[in-house]
Structure 1
Amino acid sequence: MENVEVDLGERSYEIKIGTGLLANLDQYLVEAGIKTGTKLLVITDKRVKQLYGEDIEFSLTQSNFEFRLTAVPEGEGSKSLEMAQKLYDEAVDFGLERNSVIVAFGGGVVGDLAGFIAATYMRGISLVQVPTTLLAQVDSSVGGKVAVNHNAGKNLIGAFYQPETVIIDLEVLTTLDERDIKSGLAEIIKYGVIWDQDFFEYLKTNSEAIKNLDFEILTKIIQRSCQIKAEVVAKDEKEEGLRVILNYGHTIGHAVEALAGYGEYRHGEAVAIGMVSAVKLAHKLEMVTENEVQKQIELISSLDLPITFNSLELDDIIAKTKQDKKVQDGRVRYILPNRIGEVEVVSGISEKLIIEVLKEQCQEGLGCT
């Protein structure tokens, strides 16, 4: 098992990464300081409950935790204030108290939703993240961002709220479909671009092993991804400066994801498209060379992620970016690379230039105007 420390002073916590960790979930909760007998509301989705519900129940019973397992429907539709209200009702019915714990057991939707409940119920109770998708393991479960969606945009209603621990079991990845694995790989590529050129090269070298779910390689890339995010979060927990670089590829990506209808593109697929937009913008602004553009596109493509999109109005994409959470003083801020391993925040980019890039990414004859 590998460990990564998220250094946030009194709110520091450990990320545990390995295989077979779910079988000993109760022990890891105790190691994180949660007393046996504590009430746990385990929030999951219906598919994960079907796959692992009995295993979780057996593990928690071993240490005499008082728990309830509740499942929400799969998909972004569950990340809403309406679903939050149902979970608050569940928490009240179960009798959760200030010393109780919310366990987020699922992918990014469950992690964000359950984390939002933990952050707001009784002004905040303890949270444990047990991510079951690659995307959640390397991104949403680490760093303390929790939220629900609003009609105007993704994750607009939320908080910064750190967990007590994060428990990552690689074996759950074997039950994911191929698209969900690829979705997580996009965020992993992101870490190489924004922070670590050697890591980017490691991904290139090992792309086939990664696609074949080589656990040894996956452990290394998950650990390094978590380390990078932990380093950034430790320097800027509440996104007052540096942490914004973690949104590389997300400005266009979130717009594509929302406009296509959540589910048409997985989050990571949309981010992959957004990363291509970002590096192409950087090239047009003479920040990176054509060679660096091609390196990113080649790695994204080698991991079977999309680099183009279809059937979207380009003006709608521009309009959607203006609802992005990184907008400051009415100006959309883009995270753009200076080179592989380093990015900066750029605002004031002309819409004409952005449209130019989007036209290059739009597949011919598929409805982009």
Structure 2
Amino acid sequence: MNTILQQSFSVSFQYPVCFTEDLFSLENPILVDVFEKGKSVKTFFVIDSGVTEAFPDLISKIKSYATNFKDLFFLCAEPLIVPGGETCKNDPDVYQQVVKATNDYGIDRHSYIVAIGGGAVLDMVGFAAAISHRGIRLVRVPTTVLSQNDSGVGVKNSINYFGKKNYLGTFTTPVAVLNDFNFLKTLDDRDWRSGIAEALKVALIKDLSFFEWLEKQALALSKREMEPMKAQIIRCAQMHMDHIAGKDPFEFGSSRPLDFGHWAAHKLEHLSRYRVRHGEAVAIGIALDSCYSHLLGWISKEDLDRVLGVIRTLGFSLYEPELSGENLIQGLREFQEHLGGKLTIMLLEKLGKGVEVHEMDENLIQSAIQLLEEENRTVKNH
């Protein structure tokens, strides 16, 4: 005889995504407002080395802030400084340093880990926090455009493994996401523009009016004007949050519409040994899949030119030599494997509306690559 007991329950997740300036000013309570009230909670900071280099007084400001609010939280150890970028996700020793700290300093499930840095550091620290004690409370402080408008607001945490991006990871919600616009001021031009690719991505597949706004503001954004950057970040973050709150926040299915342009981007990053940064690779991936959509007859040449024009005006390259050859196609197979189901790729039915397909023609992909190379060569010749 078979006995089957059916279990069913649901859990509601809530966390604030905040936008501020000068997070560690003694007059700004936004950080301590997220801590559990009624006791001084143990807190451990993990900081991207690029951030401490750009803001050499950051650690002293954190210590001063902790002293001022000592009734609400205390630092259990010196902040851990870790390398930023994909280095921290490629080297297992880095996330293991965070895990070791949880053991060394008695950081438990009622403690807090505050991660300050770009998206890669937030991914890595989030993964370490999630697997320690089955989940230590995490506060994210994104410091790049890419992490403030996209990766930092979500529920994904990961490291790279077996030479594959995000192979090990978890879906774990943060306690809060605190975005400080002041961190953006010291970004180099590549990191400044890199995150805008994610805004372009979500606009193209979901919101024509947002694409048209980006089209108008592309030059101002490329010139590092702060007000349009703030507006872009908040609008993009809201659209990502709305999607996460939808029917499949933990991606149990194979549909990942917010990964438009990403199947090629992930492989391009790896093939370039991360010389091409994530946002730069996404911009090229968007350009490639837009070319593919045009070759299918879904978007006109005029619309394709608009998409490529925005990408160029923002300062992105349209093409990298690693796009050529069979290796990129392998990225399509790896993307399907990562989804864990049938291949599901987002393409453009029209500007502002994405459509999912479950197969891609490898010959047409090669034609799209050739078209993109020609477009890039035309721009360079002019």
Give me the TM-score of the superposition, normalised by structure 2.
0.87
- Matched residues, number: 357
| Residue pairs, 1:234-249, within 5 angstroms | 234-235=245-246, 236-240=248-252, 244-249=256-261
Pairing partner for 1:215 from 226, 230, 252: 226
**Number of the residue aligned with 1:357:** 368
SS in 1 for 2:335: coil
Tell me how far apart the structure 2 counterparts of residues 226 and 312 of structure 1 sit (CA, whole Å). Answer: 29
- Structure 2 letter corresponding to 1:97: D
Equivalent residues in 2 for 1:1-369 (5 A)? Answer: 10-23=12-25, 27-35=29-37, 37-50=40-53, 51=55, 52-64=58-70, 65-67=73-75, 68=77, 69-79=79-89, 80-235=91-246, 236-240=248-252, 244-262=256-274, 264-311=275-322, 313-324=324-335, 332-362=343-373
Contact 2:284 2:318 in 1 (8 A): yes
Which deviates more, 9-18 or 319-328? 319-328
TM-score, structure 1 normalization: 0.90
Identity %: 31
Residue 320 of structure 1 aligns to a residue whose secondary structure is: helix
Deviating more after overlay: 163-172 vs 313-322: 313-322
For each residue in 1:111-143, what CA deviation from the matched residue of structure 2 results, as whole angstroms up to 9, or x when unmatched? Answer: 001111121110001111100011110111111
Q: Does the 8 A contact of 1:232 with 1:243 survive in 2?
A: no
Post-superposition shift, 1:243? 6.4
How far has the Cα of 1:328 moved from its partner?
5.5
Q: Kindly tell me: are residues 196 and 22 of structure 1, through their superposed partners in 2, closer, same or farther at Cα, counting changes over 3 Å?
A: farther
Aligned partners of 1:188, 1:109: CA distance in 2, in Å? Answer: 18
Give the partner amino acid of 1:251.
W
- Equivalents in 1 of 2:250, 2:337: separation in Å? 13
Aligned residue in 1 for 2:3: none
Deviation string 1:255-295 (CA, Å, 9 cap, x unpaired) is: 11110111x11110000000011111111222222222111
1:194 deviates by 1.7
Q: Does the 8 Å contact 1:192/1:341 carry over to 2?
A: yes
Q: Return the letter of the residue paired with 1:29.
A: L
Asked if 2 retains the 8 angstrom alpha-carbon contact of 1:148 and 1:158, the reply is yes
173-182 vs 73-82, greater mean Cα deviation? 73-82
Per-residue deviation, residues 133-160 of structure 1 (Å, max 9, x unmatched):
1111011111111001012310011011
Q: Shift of residue 202 of structure 1?
A: 0.9
Give how far 1:232 is off: 0.3
Give the Cα separation in 2 of the matches to 1:223 and 1:142: 11
Largest Rg, 1 or 2: 2
Contact 1:105 1:132 in 2 (8 A): yes
SS in 2 for 1:22: coil
Matched position secondary structure for 2:250: coil
| Aligned residue type for 1:191 | V
Cα distance change of structure 1 residues 361 and 25 upon mapping to structure 2, 3 Å threshold: farther
- Report the secondary structure of 2:132's partner residue: helix
Mapped contact 2:291–2:371 kept (Cα < 8 A): no
Q: Find the residue that maps to 2:349 and give its secondary structure.
A: strand
Distance 1:23 1:211, change over 3 A: farther
Moved more, 150-159 or 31-40: 31-40
* Matched residue type, 1:334: I
**1: CA distance, partners of 2:42 / 2:341:** 45
- Residues 167/330 of structure 1: CA separation in 2 closer, same or farther (3 Å cut): closer
Supply the distance in 1 between the matched residues of 2:338 and 2:363 (Cα, whole angstroms): 18
Structure 2 contact 99–129 (Cα < 8 Å) conserved: no
Structure 1 gaps of 5+ residues are 1-7
Q: Per the alignment, do residues 128 and 110 of structure 1 end up closer, same or farther by CA in structure 2, a change over 3 Å counting?
A: same
Q: In structure 2, what residue type is equivalent to 1:253?
A: A
Query: What is the Cα deviation at residue 348 of structure 1?
Result: 1.6
CA distance in 2 between counterparts of 1:30 and 1:59 reads 10
